Structure 1
Amino acid sequence: MPFVEKGMTVGLFGGSFNPPHAGHALVAEISLRRLQLDQLWWIVTPGNPLKDTRHLAPLAERLKLCEQQVHDPRIKVTAFEAAYNVRYTADTLALIKARNPGVHFVWIMGADNLADFHRWQRWQKIAMTFPIAVIDRPGSTLAFLSSRMAKTFDYARFDEDDAPLLARAPAPAWTFIHGPRSSLSSTAIRNGAVKRQK
């Protein structure tokens, strides 16, 4: 787990990143800037319980490719979930919270994940653990209005102009951040439809 100090604001950007691409790097960059974070942890997961793992590249390979996408020293690429044998996001966030008292974390995800967020194990627990920043993705802009998560936690939504306040807000709290969008997707890259950009 990367080193942090009390009082810091840290974004948590997790995924299988199979493979990582410039779209992921864009989400990380937007998050750092709009949320005014001290750090962003790019968390490479051993595997996603909701996805087919037959075409999942080895963790070490995905970790290396993620590091090649990073050009900001505030971004820390990590795969600590494997060391702790953690499989679900709710467990990952509970572990992070227990080991880092006094640090302000915010969970970061692309809007393409928002529509299915209610399928994640203990999704409401995730929303009650840390604030959430949803970053716009092509074709997913309206998810923040129609998703089950958005409807359930409508009362806890921050205006995106207040995004810098999100990390220090008590959960549940979330915002949807509009901005530049990349049409790249890991699935399309794996299928050979597009080439990964560096």
Structure 2
Amino acid sequence: MPARLPPASPGMRIGLYGGSFDPAHPGHRHVSLVALRRLGLDRVWWMVTPGNPLKDRDRLAPAAARVAAASRVAAHPRIVVTGFESEIGARYTRQSLRYLVSRLPGVHFVWIMGADSLASFHRWQGFREIAALMPIAVIDRPGFTLSAPGGHAAQALARRRVSEQDARNLANRPAPAWTFLHGPRSTLSSTAIRRKDEEATQLLKKTPDHINLA
């Protein structure tokens, strides 16, 4: 059976924002709003992955729980959360994007990633295929403004970089094409949030029951 996908029609411009969203946070929403505005998109789909091959999956919350939590954080009519990757059994981003391009050939997709992801993009399986499947928009992140564009993947695709001033037409450009969007940056990260929660949990475990923390 085909995977259940959010509504889409030919000609739509849809940004794809993938990740574990463990947990989803306002920083994800910030990136999506920037992409909607700067790229002239109709929708942004949050693709909640079953797991990240480059990260430890042992402590990853169930996909259904992450989808539900992400939907509450998104809270925007043009941001849609989907867990279709679990339905198709995708392990790598290129599999998911290949599926969408095949399933919805009339839709103009743009892959959205943070500058921190661009810095490690060359480690993704088939990163060149991803770049060939659809244009890519890179959103600036603290600490990666200068280093990410100088990374291996960015250098490999340097000739395909599109001026930031032309970003609004990125969705209609033939791939490979990518742009780097500067502007206000969010310092939030799922990793930092998880670490803070874990530290709080450990503190509670070490605190005697008779002590009132209020």
Does TM, scored on the shorter chain, surpass 0.5? yes
Q: TM-score range by the shorter chain?
A: over 0.9
One-letter identity of the residue aligned with 1:129: L
Partner of 1:120: 124
Shift of 1:193: 6.9
Q: Is the 8 A contact 1:144 1:176 kept in 2?
A: no
Match among 83, 93, 100 for residue 96 of structure 1: 100
**Count of aligned positions:** 194
Q: Structure 1 residue 105 and structure 2 residue 109: aligned?
A: yes
Distance 2:184 2:60 in 1: 28
- Secondary structure (helix, strand or coil) at the match of 1:190 reads helix
One-letter identity of the residue aligned with 1:11: G
Q: Structure 1 residue 131 and structure 2 residue 135: aligned?
A: yes
Q: Is the 8 A contact 1:166 1:173 kept in 2?
A: yes
Match among 9, 12, 15 for residue 16 of structure 2: 12
Match among 188, 191, 197 for residue 195 of structure 2: 191
Q: Is the 8 A contact 2:116 2:148 kept in 1?
A: no
Percentage identity across aligned positions? 55
Partner of 2:42: 38
Which stretch of the first structure deviates more once superposed, 58-67 or 124-133? 58-67
Matches within 5 A, 1:29-178: 29-178=33-182
One-letter identity of the residue aligned with 1:55: R
One-letter identity of the residue aligned with 1:86: A
Distance 1:102 1:122 in 2: 23
Q: Is the 8 A contact 2:16 2:45 kept in 1?
A: yes
| Structure with a larger share of its residues in helix | 2
- Secondary structure (helix, strand or coil) at the match of 1:189 reads helix
One-letter identity of the residue aligned with 2:64: A
Which stretch of the first structure deviates more once superposed, 53-62 or 9-18? 53-62
One-letter identity of the residue aligned with 1:116: S
Partner of 1:24: 28
RMSD: 1.2
Q: TM-score, normalised by structure 2?
A: 0.88
Which stretch of the first structure deviates more once superposed, 22-31 or 62-71? 62-71
Q: TM-score, normalised by structure 1?
A: 0.95
Any runs of at least 4 consecutive aligned residues in structure 1 with deviations exceeding 6 A, and if so which?
Answer: none
Q: Which has the higher contact order (CA 8 A, sep 6+)?
A: 1
Shift of 1:145: 2.6
Structure 2 unmatched ranges of 5 or more: 199-214
One-letter identity of the residue aligned with 1:148: H
- Secondary structure (helix, strand or coil) at the match of 2:196 reads coil
Structure 1 unmatched ranges of 5 or more: none
- Secondary structure (helix, strand or coil) at the match of 1:145 reads helix
Shift of 1:143: 3.2
Distance 1:145 1:81 in 2: 29
Partner of 1:180: 184
Distance 2:147 2:101 in 1: 28
One-letter identity of the residue aligned with 1:103: V
